[in-house]
Amino acid sequence: MHRKILSAALVISAVFWLVAARDKAGDDPAFAQINAIVKTLSEITGLKEEHPVPYGRMSKGQLRHFLNKRIKKTLKPEEIHADELTLKMFGLVPQNYDLRRSTVDLLTEQAAAFYDYDVKRLFLLEDSSFESETTTLAHELSHALADQHFDLENFMDEAPSDDDENLAHTAVVEGQASWLMIAYELKKAGKPPEPTPDMLKSVDDSSEESLADYPVLKGSPLYIQQSLLFPYTQGTIFFDAVYRKKGKPAFSLVFTNPPVDSSQVIHPDRYFAHIRPAKPALPALGLTREGKEITEGSVGEFDHQMLLKQYLGDAKATELPPHLRGAQYRILTSGKNHRPVLQYVSQWDSGESARTFFAAFKKVLHAKWRHCDESIESGTTFAGTGDNGFFVARLNGDIVSSVEGISDASDWQRLKGAGTAAAASALASRGH
């Protein structure tokens, strides 16, 4: 969820500013450090610099203009709509949330420097000064070095086959660069370039503390906040685990054999064991007026963490998601008004885990809607109406599934099973 627009914005292309940027860079003292930083990074990683890294400056205004142009160029309006609708139907952002505008606001607020994978160029924002501070340059130049060997644009845009895998790939890119940023500072100080556990923890701590410095980020929905922070925080810890096990080959391994989902990033032992996510089948629909598909994708451990954290708190967000084996979703239109219907299914590591999640999921449905009027609430079925129409949620062994947004009472009656026709009629007569 919420992957396409963010990926499009981060894989930055700024061809139309190259000439102006080149003119300004020549006498810029910040850029005098680049060759030395890249040399040190090359020594740490064993990755040879294939060619010098081009560089330039960019203003905040230029960056904002670029981000809007980049999104318009790479994403169709219907793709942005699909991302936004998915977040809203899962209850992860408010119904009035503007995903495109908020993404541009967030990235413009936080940007100090970035490496453009497309034109292979490093940019610093004009109001940033790095004459004495080299850590940010080390982070971005780590991207440049990796790009020369592993083609980051392809790695980010084309390789991931689904949403959760895209998040895992982002964690590889940003996690390795964050790890190298610390290692660079250690080597420069004459110490072994291997971050300590306390140093790694400081990445997580500083990310949370930095919210106070970024009001747009701080005011964003939890899911949006943590989607931006996860690649840096959890990605750094993941890369460290691979480095501790594999040594210097880890710098190549995470790109040539990357994690396939957020679960492998959160639990590196699953990465080493090559545990892949399950892909359970979505619940059957057979709606009377089934329209076109809007979007589909995966729902990973990170997504479940955020959903449970938002509505049920930290304890459930910590307890349940590690037991997830895999989950899928699909949104399609239905009925004469083409209202969106959300199909969801998740598979768990045991029937007990599924039962525990099903109980939590019912509470999430109650919490995410202004009203949730149930007609059936049992150990295996939960059905009724929510803000967007009829819904049915089921527990079947190790599978939890749901369908939300059904507009036709007869479709809902059929989906929720025999013995509920009277309840369906009663709810329909009440205008639901």
The Cα–Cα gap between 106 and 228 comes to: 9
Domain definitions of the chain by residue range: 4-272, 290-429
Give me the torsion for CA of 237, 241, 247, 249, rounded to 10°: -80
Share of the chain above pLDDT 90, in %: 59
According to the model, what pLDDT value does residue 108 have? 81
According to the model, what pLDDT value does residue 26 have? 53
Question: Right CATH number for 290-429 from 3.40.1000, 3.40.50, 1.20.930, 3.90.870?
Answer: 3.40.1000
**For 396-415, what is each residue's pLDDT tens digit?**
999 999 999 999 888 898 88
**For 24-61, what is each residue's pLDDT tens digit?**
445 677 778 899 999 999 999 999 999 999 988 888 88
**For 310-348, what is each residue's pLDDT tens digit?**
999 999 999 999 999 999 999 999 878 889 999 999 999
The Cα–Cα gap between 153 and 238 comes to: 21
Per-residue pLDDT tens, the chain, 432 aa: give them. Answer: 655 665 554 443 332 222 233 334 456 777 788 999 999 999 999 999 999 999 888 888 888 887 787 777 777 788 889 999 999 999 999 999 999 888 888 888 877 788 888 788 888 887 765 554 678 889 999 999 999 999 998 898 755 557 899 999 999 999 999 999 999 999 999 999 999 998 988 877 776 677 777 888 889 999 999 998 899 999 999 999 999 999 999 999 999 999 999 999 999 999 999 999 999 999 888 888 888 999 999 999 999 999 999 999 999 999 999 999 999 999 999 878 889 999 999 999 999 999 999 999 999 999 999 999 999 998 999 999 999 999 999 999 999 999 999 998 888 988 887 434 433 343 343 344
300 closest CA partner among 429, 182, 161:
161
According to the model, what pLDDT value does residue 90 have? 97
Is residue 89 within 8 A of residue 405, CB to CB? The reply is: yes
According to the model, what pLDDT value does residue 11 have? 43
The Cα–Cα gap between 396 and 417 comes to: 14
According to the model, what pLDDT value does residue 132 have? 45
The Cα–Cα gap between 319 and 269 comes to: 18
According to the model, what pLDDT value does residue 65 have? 82
**For 129-142, what is each residue's pLDDT tens digit?**
555 467 888 999 99
Q: Exposed e or buried b for every residue in 1-33, given b needs 16+ CB within 10 A?
A: bbbbbbbbbbbbbbeebeeebeeebeebebbeb
